[in-house]
Amino acid sequence: MKIERVNDNTVKFFITYTDIERRGFARDEIWYNRERGEQLFWQMMDEANEKESISFEGPLWIQVQAFEKGLEVTVTIAKTTIDGEQVDEDELDSLLRSAMSDAEEKETELSQDVLFETTDFEHIIALSQYAEAPIFEEVKTSLYQKDGLYLLHLHFKEETEVEEQENVMSLIAEYLNFSEQTIHPVAEYGKVIVPNDVFAFIRKHFPN
C-alpha cells in the first residue's frame, strides 16, 4: 500500500486488489460486507499512523475511487462537513459505506494499458532496481514526461493473467502514484523519455 500525505489534513492511499487479498480480504466482500469493508479501512488507517505518525482523530471526509488494479482512498480530517454542520463520529460508518458504494459503481474492467506517475525521477530509478522479476516479462514499458510529471506506461499482453498484472501493479504502487490520465493524450502531447524497456534502460544508465 502506498501512503501519500497531501497536506496536514489530507492523506491519500493507493492499495492494489492483490494487497487487499494478502491482508485476508476477498475483493468482492469489501463492497458487499459492511463489517469487512470497515475492517480494511481501519487497518489502512492504523498502518498510516504506524508508518507516517498520522493521527486520525475527529470527523473524517472519505472519498474512494476504484480503478482497474485497486482503490484510491482519500481521507480528510475536518471539524465540519462541507455544508458547515458538525459531523457526528457515529456517522463515519455511513460515510464509509457511501464512499465504497460510489466507488463500486465507478469500477471499470481491467485494462491492458495503465499509467503511473511521479514528479521525482529518483522514484523511477529506485523502482527499476526491483523490476527484474519474471512477472515483468508480461508487460511492455515506456516513459513519458508531461506537465512536470514522469509517466510510466504499462501495456500488458492480452493473455496475461489478472493475478500477474496485479502483482506488477502492487510493486510499482510502492514507488509511484496511480495516474488517472490515459495513454493517448500522453503519447500525443508528452515527450518520450524512454520508448521501451524502461527498467533495463534505467538500470544500464543509472546503476545503483
Phi, psi of 137 (to 5 degrees): -70, -15
What tens digit of pLDDT does each residue of 19-32 get?
888 888 887 777 76
Measure the N-to-C terminal CA separation of the chain; round to a whole number of Å.
Answer: 24
- What mean pLDDT is predicted for residues 140-169? 88
Residue ranges covered by each domain of the chain: 2-106, 113-205
Give CA–CA dist 206/20, Å, rounded: 33
Task: Answer for the pair 43, 86: CB distance below 8 angstroms, yes or no.
Answer: no
- What mean pLDDT is predicted for residues 122-130? 91
Cell triple for 120: 521525482
pLDDT of residue 111: 67
Task: Answer for the pair 153, 113: CB distance below 8 angstroms, yes or no.
Answer: yes
Task: Answer for the pair 139, 199: CB distance below 8 angstroms, yes or no.
Answer: no
**Is pLDDT of 176 > 80?**
yes
Q: Which of 51-65, 82-96, 137-151, 165-179 has the lowest mean pLDDT?
A: 82-96
Give CA–CA dist 28/67, Å, rounded: 14
Q: pLDDT: is 171 or 119 the higher one?
A: 119
Cell triple for 104: 463500486
Task: Answer for the pair 129, 203: CB distance below 8 angstroms, yes or no.
Answer: yes
Query: Within 13 A of 75's CA, how many CA atoms are on the CB side?
Result: 26
Residue for grid cell 496536514: 8
pLDDT of residue 150: 97
Which of 138, 197, 128 has the alpha carbon at shortest distance from 163? Answer: 138
| Topology, domain 113-205 | Alpha-Beta Plaits (3.30.70)
pLDDT of residue 55: 74
Percentage of the chain lying above the pLDDT 90 cut: 24
pLDDT of residue 101: 57
pLDDT level of residue 109 (50, 70, 90 thresholds): very low
Residue for grid cell 469493508: 37
Give CA–CA dist 108/75, Å, rounded: 22
pLDDT of residue 80: 45
- The pLDDT mean for the chain works out to 79
Cell triple for 186: 500522453
Query: Within 13 A of 7's CA, how many CA atoms are on the CB side?
Result: 4
What tens digit of pLDDT does each residue of 42-96 get?
888 888 888 878 777 767 778 887 776 788 888 887 644 444 444 444 555 555 5
